[in-house]
Structure 1
Amino acid sequence: MFCRCIDSEWPLRTFQHGVYRESDEGPSDRWIVNFDHDLADGLVLATAMAAYCPFLIASHLCKVLSRPENPEESFHNCLVIVGAMHSIAVGLDCLASEMMKPCPVQMLMLCVELYSKLPAYVPHCMLNFSGALHSTVSQQLCLSNPSSRTLRYEATIVGRDSGVFYLHRSANFTHARQVSSIAVGMHCVL
């Protein structure tokens, strides 16, 4: 049982360490060896989220302090991380105070949740909008369902420019082996 636990933690630690070290700027290097004190200041989680959700950098993660020097600054980082997790609907609800005094089991569960959910947020394509100033432009985003079950897609717009874009409907059902579309619009303003 103990060996199995260590084997299951190793990919998570490797994931965290690899994503954290790949960031170009920010805090000094550190080796992540546990799921409590190494994650308490929020920097590692912020870096992992920035690697997979670059759209969160301008709206949330730019507020993270890269070298927190006291508990108040670390708490600030944890508040920013919790806000970013809420904006992308991470399934595990975690408070900033719980991240500051972390329970290793709860932080492990949070890391597992991020490990399974964050790769789905990597942008795969882009919609390009062009239009005259003060006009409204709309494009169709196609959703395909290759499985044999009906899927429910839920779309939200997050990020710095989220107020400029809109969805005609946020929830969409795609029946088995069919394609549906959702309209995405943009108000062209300065």
Structure 2
Amino acid sequence: MGAGKTTAIRSISDSEPVSTEMPISEDVEGEKTHTTVALDYSSIELETGELLHVYGVPGQAYLDFMWPMVADGAMGIVVLVNAERADRLASTEHLLRRFGELAPQACFAVGVTRTDLTDAFTLPEFRDALLARGYRIPVLRVDARQPLQVDFLIKALLSYQYGRSLTPPG
């Protein structure tokens, strides 16, 4: 919660995304007043003219019934994590494991948001901790409000997908 999924989708969408944001009944994240209760959806036209369908689903366990629906057939999954959360490593690993089960064919990337708001986070340590747990995936710092940064994260994911699909000559 509060990682910027809705903001990231809005920042790169070609049109207004479908969103299921609702007001939060109590202030749980400082300035956060709304949360996604089902999913966000949009499509983005790639340079090749193909449409990339983008879904944002909440990470809370009580909303995990949405996860299989969007993971089915996914070629790639971006996990956005809020650097301010004390449980950022455990929650990221949980989401990577769970979505890995739901979409074993998918490639993964992690985008870490809100890094400018905490001194308790360093990207190399976080990346190394994921690597030590067996996750050899792109892990990037990203400002969800900045279209170029979100676009770069998606391109890193797509590049990883492309590189994984190559077979060595032989």
TM-score normalised by length of structure 2? 0.29
Q: TM-score, normalised by structure 1?
A: 0.26
Q: Which has the larger radius of gyration?
A: 1
